[in-house]
Amino acid sequence: MGDSQLTVCVAGATGFVGRHVVRALLERGHSVRALVRDPSKASAALPEHERLTIHRGEPAPHDGPDGLREWAERADAMVNTIGIIREAPGGQTFARVHVGVTRALVRAAKGAGVGHFVQVSALGVHDEADTAYARSKFEGETLVRNSGLAWTILRPSLIHGPDGEFMQLAKGWATGRAAPFVFMPYFTRPVEPLKFPVPKFESAVVAPISVDDVALAVARSLERRECRGEVLHLCGPEPLTWPELLEFVRDNVTNGKKELKTLGLPGAVAAMKARAARAVGLRDALPFDEGMATNATRDSVCSMDKAAEFLGLEPVGFRATASGYLARL
């Protein structure tokens, strides 16, 4: 380890990524302060451990530097794992969660003199992104970069694990228990150039990375000083099309229905439907939004050379990892 035992504040500690980050840090000898909205939820999601303390609170966009003082004071590092993939009623917007919450955490870290800030972002975000999700993720990254803190930004591809939202959704499709019930959907993009009268469409390619590998990347980025000031992309070693991924889930999950087929739906059409639904106040009538339909048509793969150099990370392939837990789902 580049650093000895650290005291690390983890925001989003009961979320999918956050709870795995907490466990990884504890296993490596660090002390963790978990920030949670609901302490009762923390008891179910997090282990009991002498080096784990639970702090009740929620980063608010307009918090001053003292808003999270007790949680952050005398900590060595802070990790932000808070994120959403779609907006929802009750103020759950990309601007609030990805930008406002990050701003509040940065203020708290600076006010408490925290030495290192790790932001878990997403692969493919940039300043000219055409979805609100990606733009908000990049804006959050920019706040961290310009904070004056030592920072590391991690950009993972699709994160998978038995307790993750994506795998639960895929399980529902593969067992016929979730809409559309009779097939497993994915979004497609047109093959360039478009050929009429019968245009062709194709699946994007994604390189899923396990949540355990992402948690390990977070821990190592805190332990290795050379990771400070770096943006590190995280992908699994096994690029798959959406049909390949979904069919593997179907064939390996408990009660998977082998007769269910995958069916590609044009992402542009799905995005248009999502925009129309939002315009008439029916945003939640569809299980996806415009950004999800658009992003799912884009490849989510990357080179792991830099992550291997800085983190010594060698992620395990999707099939090898998922086969170990799908039979238990």
Distance CA 138, CA 88 (A): 20
Q: Does residue 151 share a domain with residue 17?
A: yes
User: pTM, whole model, 2 decimals?
Assistant: 0.95
- For residue 65, name the pLDDT band (cuts at 50, 70, 90): low
Q: Does residue 116 share a domain with residue 94?
A: yes
Nearest to 109 by CA among 76, 60, 155, 142: 76
Q: Does residue 185 share a domain with residue 197?
A: yes
Q: Does residue 146 share a domain with residue 192?
A: no
Q: Does residue 106 share a domain with residue 192?
A: no
- For residue 310, name the pLDDT band (cuts at 50, 70, 90): very high
In a domain, 323, yes or no: no
Q: Does residue 220 share a domain with residue 191?
A: no
In a domain, 326, yes or no: no
Q: Does residue 273 share a domain with residue 181?
A: yes
Q: Does residue 182 share a domain with residue 66?
A: no
The boundaries of the domain holding residue 81 are 7-158+209-235+301-315
Q: Does residue 185 share a domain with residue 49?
A: no
pLDDT, tens only, 121-174? 999 999 889 999 999 999 999 999 999 999 999 999 999 999 999 999 999 999
In a domain, 1, yes or no: no
In a domain, 320, yes or no: no
State the total domains in the chain: 2
State the residue for tokens 């315009």. Answer: 279
Exposure class string for 248-258: b at 16+ Cβ within 10 A, else e: bbbebbeebbe
Q: Does residue 227 share a domain with residue 107?
A: yes
In a domain, 144, yes or no: yes
The amino acid sitting at 255 is N
